[in-house]
Amino acid sequence: MTDGNRTLHVLIALTFTLMVAVVMLSAYMRLSATGLGCDNWPDCYGRILAGHAPHRPEWINIAHRIAASAMGLAALAIATLAWRLRRTAHRNFPLALALFGLTAFLAALGKWTHDARLPAVALGNLLGGLGMLLLLWRMHLGYSPQTAAPSGLRGWIRIGLMLVAAQAALGGMTSANFAVSSCAGLNGCEGWLQHATLAAFNPFHYLGVTQEGSFVPGATQQTLHMAHRLLALPVVAYLVWLGIGLFREKWRRSGQLLIAVAALQVALGIGAATGNPPLFLVLLHNAAAAFLLLALLTFSYRPRDPT
Ligand code: HEM
């Protein structure tokens, strides 16, 4: 490996670590702003929609601002270095450009609006952050010695990656529409299917509050909450099937890990869906989703690809 590529790899690895911190801090800021885990549940949930400022320690805001600015500089440095090294590591440049594009998108989103009434903002924040993590990890994989997953499974693993991404996006919509309290209890909401609406999946509709300033969840929230729960069934079944496939093909540890994290994700999801979930539990649910995506990207990577 050339000196330039070694420097780029170190920069990518450090930026990935920084990005993990940015994703977790952003998730904390987003979720604490909704009122998750607040004291007089469920009245306090969604109060931000009526213009109430979120309560959180000031150091979190400062840490997030510093980490996000550092991330912007790091993305620029990676794109510049990847451009210079495009002859020896030609695959890195488009990935680095996409990373820089996503960083600019998230910075613009933050400047453009903090309006919690528009679900697209929280959704963009969640998906943009996960996308950046995946791009950095993909660039890192290009430099790491790896054995290839069985070729017969790689296509199926990529489908798994897309399914988990779709499920994460639906989770983001559930959260961004303040739908956590809409179907408390294991059985879900009774009669939700009669009111289910396709309009619920539009992230560009504004959420409203009553004249008294309270948020009243309705059909949109029930539809999203139940859709997220129901899609989890085939997605998790698929992950277990993939895990068994990997296990049988001598990728035992990877198969076991995939099944274990999928099971953990279901347990965390059930915890989040029943009653007033503590904030840390939803943060873990978020982290497990990111972990599943990274694991599937690793298993689907073909090491013979030139970096
Ligand atoms: C592979 C399976 C799953 C994945 C990848 C996944 C992913 C996610 C993600 C990324 C979020 C958004 C969190 C945030 O905004 O930061 C979320 C939210 C949520 N998930 Fe899941 N989830 C899965 C399974 C489940 C299951 C099985 C349940 C319940 C039975 C569940 C219940 C919830 C609830 C209630 C929320 C909203 C929490 C909030 O308001 O922030 N999830 N999910």
Residues in the chain: 307
Residue to mutate, 285, 286, 296, ligand 1, most ligand atoms under 8 Å from C-beta: 285
Instruction: Find the domain containing 41 and state its range.
Output: 3-300
pLDDT over 80 at 1, yes or no: no
Residue 169 lies in a domain: yes
> 269 C-alpha to center of ligand 1: Å?
5
Residue 158 lies in a domain: yes
Residue 306 lies in a domain: no
Please write the tens of the pLDDT for every residue from 87-141.
877 789 999 999 999 999 999 988 777 788 999 999 999 999 999 999 999 999 9
Cβ–Cβ < 8 Å for 142, 307? yes
Residue to mutate, 164, 175, 223, 242, ligand 1, most ligand atoms under 8 Å from C-beta: 175
Q: Report the pLDDT averaged over residues 192-221.
A: 88
Residue 229 vs residue 190, higher pLDDT = 229
Please write the tens of the pLDDT for every residue from 127-174.
999 999 999 999 999 988 777 778 889 999 999 999 999 999 999 999
- For residue 226, give both structure tokens: 């139940």
Nearest to 33 by CA among 178, 212, 181, 225: 178
Residue 307 lies in a domain: no
Q: Tell the residue nearest (CA) to atom 2 of ligand 1.
A: 232
Cβ–Cβ < 8 Å for 92, 8? yes
Q: How many domains does the chain have?
A: 1
- For residue 306, give both structure tokens: 């030139």
> 142 C-alpha to center of ligand 1: Å?
30
pLDDT of residue 306: 44
Check whether the bond before 42 is cis (ω within 30° of 0). yes
Answer whether 0.85 is exceeded by the pTM: yes
Cβ–Cβ < 8 Å for 149, 157? yes
Residue 280 lies in a domain: yes
Residue 71 lies in a domain: yes
Packing angle, helices 151-176 and 3-34, rounded to 10: 40
